[in-house]
Structure 1
Amino acid sequence: MSDPSSPKPADAPAPSSSSSIDPQAIRAEVEKLVAEGKKAVALHQWEQGVDRYATALDRMRLLVGDADPEMAPLLLAYGKALYDLASSQAGVMGREEPVRQEDDVPAEPNNPNFVFSGDAPSDDEGAADEPEPEPESEPQASSSSAPAPALGTDAAEGDEMEELEDDYNAAWEVLDVARTIYQKIVDGLKEGEGNKERMLLSDCYLALGNVSCETENFPQAVQDFTAAVDIQNTIMPPSFRDLASAHYQLATALEFTPSPQSRTSALTHVESALSSLVRRKEELLSSDESTWSEAIKKMTPKEKEAEMKDVEALMGDLQAKIEELKAAPPAEDLIHESISHLMGQTEEASGSGSNKVESGPVNDLTSMVKKKKPKATPVAPAPVSAPVVEKRAAEGGEEPAAKKAKNDEA
């Protein structure tokens, strides 16, 4: 991480003295930058969104320290934008991206990209309510006129993959700093207090899990998604749609985890997601307002009708997924289990091997919209002083797979 005493970027010169700092003006500028960042992300302009959030962080550091609670929302939004930017570049480089799913439209039964619209979006996602323009179609070159591969293509692709890993690692580190700050905030709360802060901590874990899935570090993703589910289970009603989404994200990560028991665990969490939606449907059908959650109470009759259609469609998809998981496991799972048995491996040993699972492309589990765009220069995370960053490895967790590979090479 950069030294906090290092010179500021050209567009953010450090003041000559404390008396020249106008806190009110700086906060107004930060609010403007955050609003621009939200809008850019909503319009799929990932690079611009990353730039706005990074500048907002630089400005805010003139007023508060790196570990100040006011930095946490900015770091969370910045980390998510970095993740979106890296994911969009992955599409440009040929990695498969999920098909764009319209909000709250259920995916196919075998598609992990279920869209569970949240009951109460976090503060840093306010721009999601703004209308999003349809992405312009990109010209496609015909196969007959495609140029022959240039010499050095493999080397160039290798460099691009290394840059992509750096982008995901940057997103992971920024999100982990936000998680550290929110964890300290939550640790200082009494039981039953600070549901908003607890949900933001859950949001950090979900975002970290997404990054770990993209880097194919599924054991770490399972750890983070589990933490998110545990938090939401303690503070949210069973009918909370974000809770259903978190259960499904965890189930999907478990499916890619090399453990004979992971399929059974995945089934349990898909069933939990379905149970949450069943509760949601019961609330929508109930005429007793005392049984309604706050989200249901705020809905108009038309919104309730649309919600019911969405819930029923998602329930059908989850039921299909449950039947799939209850069926005989794929042949490769049976082979893995047989080999593990013959080698005398325990469940823990078989699950502690390589982080990289030979499987299909990993899709975005929170249904964030991704769009192909021209290759952009990787954006480094905002400077954060070393004491703030509490490495997950020291806490018993794991680092992103891409980062661990680099460390091994060193």
Structure 2
Amino acid sequence: MADVPEVTTSSAEELLALGRRHLAVRDYHAATESLAKACEMLAKTHGDIADECAEAYLWYGKALLGLSREESGVLGGGIPGDNEDDDNDDENNENGDEESKEQGEVANDDNAVESKEQAEIANEEVKKNEAESTTKEEEPTSSTAKESNEKPGSSNDDQNDDSVVNLENEDDVDNLQLAWEMLELSRSILEKRVADSGNAGRALLADAHLALGEVALESETYDKAVLDMVSCLEIQKELYGSDDRRIAETHYQIGLANSLASNFEDAITHFKNAANILESRIKTLENPSAAAEDATVKKFTNADPFYSVEGELKELKELLPEIQEKIQDMMDYKAEVIKRVRETLCPTNGNGQSSSAGVNKLEPKSAPSDISHLIKRKRKSSESEETSAPKRINT
């Protein structure tokens, strides 16, 4: 990614619009640069907790969340310098080949003059004998100096490397922490004015809850993520139509948080809800008359010059199989957990029959409180897939 150009726009509103454009194309560095200046200007003009700052705080928090994901490698393919490292490796290999050729040529030249050197060996023996005594006296001093020169240098390099790593880790933590702080501040401001702000303010409040849930998801506090996202869902159901894709996105995110928390039943429910909404949305868009009257289509058409019904249809049809695959995964995990619990409570004898004849069914009170160890192997590979940034259902 190219270096972020210095922002010269003086208006906070223009900075906010510029930051949102950068965020839309996932240029998180440029987005944070513009939005940070917009927040600073608005805070100086209206105060840190003024209503006018809430939206800027929200978008700045989203940009910081994206930047944190990008720097931690969750998004993949977005880290600057990957291609440059490959080019450097190729150049180093080429330089190594050239050096080996030069060494070969030097070796041939050495062979050519070897006969002359053999003729001069006798004359040099006397000089070597005289030099050896002098060398033996100087070696301890030179070796000591060499050690004194090398050790501090190597120690400084190690310290520098450690400091670079620590700074990188601190940056990652700071970005995620700062994202949470900005989003929480935005949420508190929006909740205070929600009664007077109308649907626009409530929509921003829903977005703040959803973004806070995503931050909790990144920090692996899955129960907190579910609570924030459910709060978002409750507001969205009051604002949008039943087949709005924003509701489908929130259901998907709640399903993802529940799956990571091993709440398989809840995860299945929300994934199914997301799939059902997308199926309903596809039917609406495939009907030309219904699509023309759809409020969401009108909104996207007016706000986004690149939006088209055909493009949204294609995107939704690509997302639907992925959600259905999530549903099947959760059903498989749930079945495996039940199977392992049954095997634990009702072990079989050599004939394949249960050794506990009196136990015919699984009672909830008999289930162990912690069964994570029973599915540790399968969940480990699943978590690495699901903690990667999921495809967003919302454009």
3-state SS, counterpart of residue 61 of structure 1: helix
1:53 aligns with 2:35: yes
* Partner AA of 1:268 in structure 2: T
Cα distance between partner residues in 2 of 1:207 and 1:64: 24
1:85 aligns with 2:93: no
Cα distance between partner residues in 2 of 1:264 and 1:30: 46
**CA apart distance, 1:248:** 0.6
Cα distance between partner residues in 1 of 2:291 and 2:24: 36
Q: 1:43 to 1:310 in 2, by over 3 A?
A: closer
Contact 2:244/2:277 (CA < 8 Å) preserved in 1? Answer: yes
1:194 aligns with 2:204: no
**CA apart distance, 1:211:** 1.4
TM-score, length basis structure 1: 0.59
* Partner AA of 2:182 in structure 1: V
3-state SS, counterpart of residue 197 of structure 1: helix
1:227 aligns with 2:235: no
**CA apart distance, 1:61:** 2.2
Q: Which residue of 2 aligns with 1:180?
A: 188
Contact 1:49/1:81 (CA < 8 Å) preserved in 2? Answer: yes
**CA apart distance, 1:168:** 0.7
CA-atom RMSD, angstroms?
4.1
Rg bigger for which structure?
Answer: 2
Question: CA deviation digits over 1:231-254, x for unaligned, max 9?
Answer: 111211111111111111111111
**CA apart distance, 1:39:** 4.2
Contact 1:247/1:273 (CA < 8 Å) preserved in 2? Answer: yes
Cα distance between partner residues in 1 of 2:341 and 2:218: 23
Q: 1:290 to 1:215 in 2, by over 3 A?
A: closer
TM-score, length basis structure 2: 0.61
Q: Which residue of 1 aligns with 2:269?
A: 268
Question: CA deviation digits over 1:84-126, x for unaligned, max 9?
Answer: 22222212xxxx43468xxxxxxxxxxxxxxxxxxxxxxxxxx
**CA apart distance, 1:142:** 3.9
Contact 2:249/2:392 (CA < 8 Å) preserved in 1? Answer: no
* Partner AA of 2:171 in structure 1: E
1:322 aligns with 2:314: no
Q: Which residue of 2 aligns with 1:205?
A: 209
Question: CA deviation digits over 1:51-90, x for unaligned, max 9?
Answer: 3222222222232122221110110111112222222221
Gaps of 5+ in 2: 1-5, 94-156, 302-306, 346-363, 373-378
Cα distance between partner residues in 1 of 2:209 and 2:325: 27
- Relative contact order (C-alpha < 8 Å, sep 6+): which is higher? 1
Q: How does 1:265-304 map to 2 (within 5 A)?
A: 265-286=266-287, 289=290, 292-297=293-298, 303-304=308-309
3-state SS, counterpart of residue 220 of structure 2: coil
Q: 1:180 to 1:305 in 2, by over 3 A?
A: same
Structure showing the higher helix proportion among its residues: 2
**CA apart distance, 1:289:** 4.3
* Partner AA of 1:55 in structure 2: K
Cα distance between partner residues in 1 of 2:82 and 2:90: 21
Q: 1:79 to 1:298 in 2, by over 3 A?
A: closer
* Partner AA of 1:173 in structure 2: E
Question: CA deviation digits over 1:210-232, x for unaligned, max 9?
Answer: 21122112121111111111211
Cα distance between partner residues in 2 of 1:68 and 1:178: 10
Contact 1:165/1:215 (CA < 8 Å) preserved in 2? Answer: no
Residue 67 of structure 1 is aligned with which of 49, 54, 67?
Answer: 49
